[in-house]
Amino acid sequence: AQTVTQSQPEMSVQEAETVTLSCTYDTSESNYYLFWYKQPPSRQMILVIRQEAYKQQNATENRFSVNFQKAAKSFSLKISDSQLGDTAMYFCAFRRETSGSRLTFGEGTQLTVNP
C-alpha cells in the first residue's frame, strides 16, 4: 500500500516571500503521479500542480513549482512570491498509473501567508 507523509502540520510565510512544503511517499510502483491540492476555507479541493513520475523535469505552474526526487521519494512544493490568497491547507497526494486509481492523501500542511 502507498503512504504519503507531510511532516509540517503548519507553516507561515510573509507576503512576497518564498516557502517550501515537504512531502515524502512510499511505494513499490515505478510509474505513478503526484499532486499538490490546495484547500482554502471554502473547502473546495483545487489542483495546484501535478508531476508524472516518468518525467525527470520538475513541474512548474506560474508561482508554483515542485522538487521531485524519485530515488528519495520526495515531492516538495515551492511557492514563490507568496500571496494572501495562498493561505490554505495544502495536501500532497499519490496516484498509481492504473486508469481510475484512487488518490492517497497526506495529512496536510496549513499554510498562512502574513501581510
- Contact footprint for other proteins (CB under 8 A): 4, 9, 33, 42-45, 47, 50, 52, 91, 93, 95, 99-100, 102-103, 105-108
Whether residue 74 contacts residue 51, with contact meaning beta carbons closer than 8 Å, is answered with no
What is the nearest approach in angstroms of other proteins to the Cβ of residue 21? Answer: 13
In the numeric block, the cell 512544493 is attached to 77
In the numeric block, the cell 489542483 is attached to 47
Rounded-to-integer distance, Cα 21 and Cα 84, Å = 16
Cα dihedral across residues 54, 75, 36, 59: positive or negative: negative
What is the nearest approach in angstroms of other proteins to the Cβ of residue 46? Answer: 8
Nearest to other proteins of 9, 29 (CB atom): 9
Rounded-to-integer distance, Cα 63 and Cα 85, Å = 13
What is the nearest approach in angstroms of other proteins to the Cβ of residue 17? Answer: 25
Nearest to other proteins of 39, 80 (CB atom): 39
Nearest to other proteins of 70, 80 (CB atom): 70
Q: Is 112 helix (H, G, I), strand (E, B) or coil?
A: strand
Nearest to other proteins of 46, 84 (CB atom): 46
